[in-house]
Amino acid sequence: MAYDERLARFRQAHLNPFDKASEPPPQERPDGGDPDPGQRLEPSPGDPESALDLGLAEDHFSRPVGLILASDVQQLRQAIEECKRVILALPEHSERQKDAVVRLIHLRLKLQELKDPGEDEPNIRVVLEHRFYKEKSKSVKQMCDKCSTIIWGLIQTWYTCTGCYYRCHSKCLPLVSKPCVRAKVSHQAEYQLSICPESGLDSQDYRCAECRAPVSLRGVPSEARQCDYTGLYYCSSCHWNDLAVVPARAIHNWDFEPRKVSRCSMRYLALMVSRPVLKLREINPLLFNYVEELVEIRKLRQDILLMKPYFITCKEAMEARLLLQLQDRQHFVENDEMYSLQDLIDIEAGRLSCSLTEIHTLFAKHIKLDCERCQAKGFVCELCKEGDVLFPFDSHTSVCTDCSAVFHRDCYYDNSTTCPKCARLSLRKQSLFQDSSMEAEP
């Protein structure tokens, strides 16, 4: 009997739609028992199984699963609501409920395609100095920076700014009101160096600093969130509680704990993190007295600057491209004063000291051991005339500030006389001046 009941249910779920109109009603038994299981059962109009049979059950004459009969948004919404009602009415974890859920997903995907067609969208769009490119990725899930909702790449068209990496739906592009921060970085590359310069919510007229939406500290109509970098207040759509290292706290307090910043500040700090715009000797010169790693890094950078002339005039070094070891920190081969925020972060973490020491060792090895041309450009201490060949970046040497001659440090400071090379150059200049004056006399 159980087999007959399952067979009847299977036949009911696979009814031929052309036989439904002419199908006779089920005959009741004279003894009041159940109808014959071999006969087809006709579900009632309110039965959820009947709703499934209208569009969710499969038969040999039904369309494929992905094909939706509804052609406009209103019909799809009605079908979605009906499918939701069916899912709630069916038994939990049943096969028919799972089929209904799959059908609901297809309906929603079709509705989203009708609401957001992306086939004819241009690949490049320029809005307020943003240069938006249409993304091709369909599997990556992102958040829209404008409406703060999920971007479903599989069914929605979305764009990314190549300058500041601002992401948004194609339908949100006309609503973008904030210019690209890349332009600000290009024209005014500097940090706010005051620690959280708060001016109060009343100075903003109780509105978001970016989109001007009403905000309050009580969260009505929207929660006011403070940016630790600018000190301003933003709404929840412009401030997602992103965490970033604040430059002012790092420079003045050597504090690298990430703080909550707005989306605009987050993008600006991300673009500025590798730019060498911090001159620590002017901003906070006392920092070198308290952070030993900074003193070590400064000495390594000064040595690398002294090695640079050797590499520029060495053919082997140019072919080996040794200076490209610092291609991520080009300012290290230009000066020893400017730092980027990423430099300070790496110094605090201990990464920069290790990597820079390895590069320093590699450079010194080329000059002092591997290359004969560079070895020939070394110095001999003219004060003691003893010892090995000296180089200006050696730790036990001192360099004359006038003629750049190199001496042993002990010889240079113990000798009270002037630099021998400077004295020799001075005598040469005097002799040349005397010769020119004698030739000028009649």
Check which CATH number belongs to the domain holding 227 and give it.
3.30.40.10
Q: How far is it, in rounded angstroms, from Cα 109 to Cα 134? A: 20
The verdict on 224 and 310 lying in the same domain is no
- Is the separation of the CB atoms in 297 and 353 below 8 Å? yes
Kindly state whether residue 269 falls inside one of the protein's structural domains: yes
The verdict on 335 and 389 lying in the same domain is no
Q: How far is it, in rounded angstroms, from Cα 96 to Cα 52? A: 8
Kindly state whether residue 243 falls inside one of the protein's structural domains: yes
| Among 153, 178, 203, residue at a domain's last position | 178
In tens digits, the chain (442 residues) has pLDDT values of: 566 676 666 666 555 544 544 444 445 444 444 445 444 444 444 454 444 444 444 443 344 444 444 456 778 888 888 888 888 888 888 888 888 888 888 787 777 666 555 445 667 777 777 878 787 766 667 888 888 778 877 677 788 888 778 888 888 888 887 778 877 777 777 888 888 888 888 898 898 888 888 888 887 777 889 999 999 999 888 888 989 999 999 999 999 999 999 988 988 898 899 989 999 989 998 999 999 999 999 999 999 999 998 888 888 888 888 888 888 888 998 888 999 999 999 999 989 999 999 999 999 999 988 888 888 888 888 787 777 888 888 888 888 878 888 888 878 777 656 788 888 888 888 887 776 666 665 5
Distances (CA, A) of 26 to 117, 181, 294, 404: 48, 73, 91, 111
Q: How far is it, in rounded angstroms, from Cα 56 to Cα 45? A: 15
User: What tokens were used for 259?
Assistant: 């703080």
| Among 342, 372, 402, residue at a domain's last position | 372
Q: Which residue has the tokens 């002419």?
A: 22
Collapsing DSSP states into helix, strand and coil, what is residue 154? coil
Kindly state whether residue 168 falls inside one of the protein's structural domains: yes
| Among 353, 372, 391, residue at a domain's last position | 372
Kindly state whether residue 35 falls inside one of the protein's structural domains: no
The verdict on 191 and 266 lying in the same domain is yes
Distance of CA 108 to the CA centre of its chain: 31
> Other C-beta atoms within 10 Å of 310: how many?
23
Kindly state whether residue 62 falls inside one of the protein's structural domains: no
The verdict on 311 and 367 lying in the same domain is yes
Distance of CA 83 to the CA centre of its chain: 40
How many structural domains comprise the chain?
5
First to last CA, the chain: 141
Kindly state whether residue 439 falls inside one of the protein's structural domains: no
Domain limits for position 140? 124-178
- Is the separation of the CB atoms in 207 and 198 below 8 Å? no
Q: How far is it, in rounded angstroms, from Cα 224 to Cα 201? A: 8
